Amino acid sequence: MNSDKQFLSVFGCFSDYCIISPLCRKSLFLIAQIHSCQEVHFKLHVYCFPVQVEKYLELFHLSQEKLKEVSARLKRDLIRGLGKHSHHRAAVKMLPTFVRATPDGTENGDYLALDLGGTNFRVLHVRVVEEQQRVLKMDSQICAIPQEIMLGTGEQLFDHIAACLSEFLDSQDLKGKTLPLGFTFSFPCEQKEIDKSILIRWTKGFNCSGVEGRDVVQLLKEAIHRRGDYDIGSVAMVNDTVGTMMSCGYRDQSCEIGMIIGTGTNACYMEEMKNVKRVEGEAGRMCINTEWGGFGDDGSLRDIQTEFDVVVDQTSINPGVHTFEKMISGMYLGEIVRLLLVRLTEDKLLFNGQTSEALLTPGSFETKFISEIEEEDTGLENGQNILTKLGVKCDPVDVRVVRLVCDTISSRSARLCAAALGTIANRIRVNRGLDHLKTTVGVDGTVYRKHPNFSEELQDTVRLLVPKCSITFLVSEDGSGKGAAMVTAVAQRLALQSSMLT
């Protein structure tokens, strides 16, 4: 019996009432898989409740036309962010990175990478091998940053970093060499040049005095100079999204977009210099860090924000900020699902109307649960275990509806991300006057890597939205480490080429 006939035979006269959308059909068919056609005693409200569930799920369904509208809005915001006089009020900041080229495959040599973005930082030794077209992580070391240093002076912080870097160089027998360094510094900065970045404000629990408003590269160099037992070569400041693009760019020279979909989300791409109005010069290209997580902060996405998105925003540590990120990234997806499950339970559509203390606790439904519940073979069993641990009593119908909720939320995330990525790819195509663009996206992040369906849905949606762009997706290998080294390697190559021309 095919699915349509099974659907009709199980639901009989209710089918005309329930067949209001593909999502509703999916809801009902999930129940049809559990309850045989002979179970005519199955309660009327259980047959019909998917229609009420659908009332909520429809809020998250975005048609192809709506996604094209979202893409058009982002396109306007990209242009506004690039403008010399409009960027300061743009929701999408479009920050110049001063990375002026992607790898061409000729880079080689040894580099250091320093990755500072939390209570630990990493030091890496990276070797770029031209003959093998490979970026090798030779070794790395993780160093803790004690609380007293996080809250102390800037001099103490950078002295600590310089001391850990010294220990690492000793362990690698690199003290006698002067190696270039790629510096990933994951705090809000205004980048002035590839080797000059001004800290705007501390986040993530740091509050070191004397650093805000200062050039962090200069502070690092001063700390190394105070030690006097080693030196470093040129320094390149790196955003983690740029690092992702550059680490993939050495393997695939057509990689000109970087994208992260994990705890947060962001993207960068190679823009024509003539369009980067905030930086002098018209020739060539520059990588732009879009900071697309802020898309919608001016209210432009209000029509697709649901009441659940609004609650997530209002209860976050930064209300009104990073609107787009809160609709699609890993920090927030689990909470959107939790809020929706609570509402369905309050409406007596799930768990016999009985919530639990855990389910009512913000943050209790982790985003990784979505991935586990959507696993093709083990998802229902995983869902049963997760819901049991959350203290709710559920039957097989409940588990399948929860799975449908997870699928709906993750699907919206993938489709919105696809709309944004398609906007960037199409911009590159139009910028270059091409009928068809073939490009590669370097991508990283736990949502993209771990969710069983996310990458496929994102790629399928991009193909629908921008048929004139053929996009290959390449998962990054340690973008914040290897990518930082590649930025430095490319900067060195360009500097050498420039000196040969003068």
Residues identified as active-site? 204, 240
452: left (phi over 0), alpha (psi -120 to 50) or beta: alpha
Sequence-ordered alpha helix ranges (H) in 214-329: 216-227, 240-249, 307-314, 323-328
For 485, list phi and psi in degrees, rounded to 5.
-65, -40
Task: Give yes or no for a contact between 444 and 260, defined as CB atoms under 8 angstroms apart.
Answer: yes
Give the residue carrying structure tokens 């069993």.
Answer: 381
Coil, helix or strand at residue 141: strand
The sign of the dihedral angle between the CA atoms of 186, 190, 192, 198 is negative
Residue 125's CB is within 10 A of a number of other CB atoms, namely: 22
Residue 294's CB is within 10 A of a number of other CB atoms, namely: 20
What DSSP element (H or E) covers 367? helix 367-373
Residue 359's CB is within 10 A of a number of other CB atoms, namely: 19
Task: Give yes or no for a contact between 444 and 476, defined as CB atoms under 8 angstroms apart.
Answer: yes
Q: List CB contacts of 146: < 8 A, sequence separation 6 or more.
A: none
